[in-house]
Amino acid sequence: MKKLVVATGNPGKLQEMQEYLIDLPWQLELKPAAIDIEETGTTFIANARLKASEVAKAVGKWTIADDSGLAVDALDGAPGIYSARYGETDQERIDRLLRELGDTSNRQAKFVCAVAIANPDGEIVLETEGICPGEILTSPRGNGGFGYDPIFYVPSQQQTFAEMSALTKGKVSHRGVAFAQLMPELKELSRQT
């Protein structure tokens, strides 16, 4: 089984990626805690590339990284790459976003997930970006998920991320879309390495 380092210290993210890659011969492992990559990119894909490349060079192994967040049209794409830093807690982030949107009628938003894979030399060999369009509700709905999930409504499902089953969210979410796009290339890559 081939090793694929996940450029995160978050075991939950590793578990989530493992579920998307279940049919591939890759064994995922967390990056060493001592490696800390500063996200200096100005886009999701730039940060994913940076994390994948730098961790791959540091450990000398194939590495996968993602960067994701919420982009709200009426806020000129904010919180964007700062989604996780928009407040100290999920509730603070939601409160700030709703406060900044106020009573604006334009509630269009999208979740974006950029994924990059680097070879052991740090060269980016695969990348993609998955997008899930939706809108921001005026108040939270649902008890599942995390982050902005209770206020992110997906019209095609008529539910927020927080109301969806894990299976449904896994298919329609930005991360699900990104990994679905990557799967054919990842299968090919696993045959070549």
Q: For 62-94, what is each residue's pLDDT tens digit?
A: 999 999 999 999 999 999 999 989 999 999 999
The strand order across the sheet containing 108-118 reads 26-30, 2-6, 63-72, 108-118, 124-136, 152-154, 159-160
Residue 141 amino acid letter: R
Query: At 67, which CATH number?
Result: 3.90.950.10
Give the pLDDT band (50/70/90) at residue 60.
very high
Print the domain residue range for 126: 2-192
Asked whether the beta carbons of 109 and 131 are under 8 A apart, the reply is: no
- Please compute the mean of the pLDDT values over residues 14-24 and round it to a whole number: 85
| 17, pLDDT greater than 90 | no
Cβ count within 10 A of residue 80: 17
| 2, pLDDT greater than 90 | no
Please give the sequence-ordered ranges of beta strands (E in DSSP) within the chain, or none if there are none.
Answer: 2-6, 26-30, 63-72, 108-118, 124-136, 152-154, 159-160
Tokens representing residue 48 in the block: 């994913």
Angle between helix 11-20 and 174-192 (nearest 10)? 70
Tokens representing residue 15 in the block: 């578990």
Query: What does the pLDDT read at residue 44?
Result: 97
Report the percentage of the chain scoring pLDDT > 70: 99
Cβ count within 10 A of residue 29: 14
pTM of the model: 0.92
Count of the separate structural domains present in the chain = 1
- Please compute the mean of the pLDDT values over residues 142-163 and round it to a whole number: 95
Sequence-ordered list of residues with C-beta below 8 angstroms from that of 79, at least 6 positions apart, any chain = 69, 70, 71, 72, 85, 86, 93, 97
The string of pLDDT tens digits covering residues 24-50 is 888 899 999 999 999 999 999 999 999
**Which residues participate in catalysis according to the annotation?**
67
| 1, pLDDT greater than 80 | no
Query: What does the pLDDT read at residue 173?
Result: 94
- Please compute the mean of the pLDDT values over residues 16-20 and round it to a whole number: 86
- Please compute the mean of the pLDDT values over residues 141-149 and round it to a whole number: 92
Alpha carbon separation from 113 to 35, 130, 133, 138, 182 (Å, rounded): 22, 5, 12, 24, 12
Query: What does the pLDDT read at residue 134?
Result: 98
| Mean per-residue pLDDT of the chain | 93
Upper half-sphere CA count for residue 138 (Cβ side, 13 Å)? 5
